[in-house]
Amino acid sequence: MGSTDRALTTVAEALAAETKILITCHVNPDGDALGSVIALHLALSSLGADSVMYLSQTDPVAPEWCFLGGLKQIIKGDLPADYQLRTLVALDCGSAERIGNEELVKSSPRIINIDHHADNTRFGEINLVVNGASSTAEILFFIMQKMGFDITAEISEALYTGILVDSGRFQYASASPTTFRVAADLIGRGARHTDIFRHVYETVPLAKTRLSCRMFDHLSLACDGRLAVSVLEAEDFRQAAAGDNLTEGLVDSLRAIEGVIVAALIYAKPDQEKAEASSYRLSLRSSSGAVNVQRIAKAKGGGGHPQAAGASINGETAAQITEFLADRVNRAIARAGLK
Residue range at the interface with Mn ion (CB under 5 A); choices 159-167, 255-263, 307-315, 327-335: 159-167
Q: Does the protein bind Mn ion through residue 157 (CB under 5 A)? A: no
Determine the straight-line distance between the first and last CA of the chain, rounded to whole angstroms: 35
322, 332 in Cβ contact below 8 A?
no
Strand partners, 115: 129
Residue with smaller CB distance to Mn ion, 234 or 282: 282
Q: How far is the CB of 134 from Mn ion (least distance, A)?
A: 8
Edge to edge, the sheet with strand 87-91 lists 75-76, 50-55, 20-25, 87-91, 111-115, 126-129
Residue with smaller CB distance to Mn ion, 130 or 240: 130
Q: How far is the CB of 262 from Mn ion (least distance, A)?
A: 20
Residue with smaller CB distance to Mn ion, 24 or 136: 136
Residue with smaller CB distance to Mn ion, 128 or 231: 128
Q: In the chain, helix, strand, coil percent, each to 5?
A: 45, 20, 35
SS3 186: helix
Length of the chain: 339
Q: How far is the CB of 91 from Mn ion (least distance, A)?
A: 8
Q: How far is the CB of 92 from Mn ion (least distance, A)?
A: 4
Alpha helices in 127-202 (DSSP H): 136-146, 153-166, 177-188, 193-201
Residue with smaller CB distance to Mn ion, 35 or 270: 35
x/- track of binding to Mn ion for residues 99-138 (CB under 5 A)? ------------------------------------xx--
Contacts (CB under 5 A) with Mn ion, residues 163-182: 166
Which residue's Cβ lies closest to Mn ion? 32
Please give the Cα distance from 337 to 97 (Å, whole number).
35
When binding is defined by CB under 5 A, the residue of 8, 11, 26, 32 that contacts Mn ion is 32
What's the half-sphere exposure (Cβ side, CA atoms, 13 Å) at 204? 13
Residue range at the interface with Mn ion (CB under 5 A); choices 27-35, 72-80, 95-103, 215-223: 27-35
Per DSSP bridges, beta strands 220-222 and 227-232 are: antiparallel
Q: What is the DSSP secondary-structure string of 220-278?
A: EEETTTTEEEEEE-HHHHHHHT--GGG-TTTTHHHHTSTT-SEEEEEEE-TTSPP-SSE
Q: How many residues bind to Mn ion according to rule CB under 5 A?
A: 5
Residue with smaller CB distance to Mn ion, 140 or 240: 140
Residue 301 region, left (φ>0) first, then alpha (ψ -120 to 50), else beta? Answer: left
Q: How far is the CB of 278 from Mn ion (least distance, A)?
A: 28
State which H helix or E strand residue 296 sits in. Answer: helix 293-298
Residue range at the interface with Mn ion (CB under 5 A); choices 30-38, 152-160, 238-246, 328-336: 30-38
335, 272 in Cβ contact below 8 A?
no
Residue with smaller CB distance to Mn ion, 157 or 166: 166
134, 174 in Cβ contact below 8 A?
yes
Residue with smaller CB distance to Mn ion, 218 or 298: 298
When binding is defined by CB under 5 A, the residue of 29, 68, 86, 92 that contacts Mn ion is 92
Residue with smaller CB distance to Mn ion, 137 or 215: 137
Query: Can you give the binding site for Mn ion, defined by CB under 5 A?
Result: 32, 92, 135-136, 166
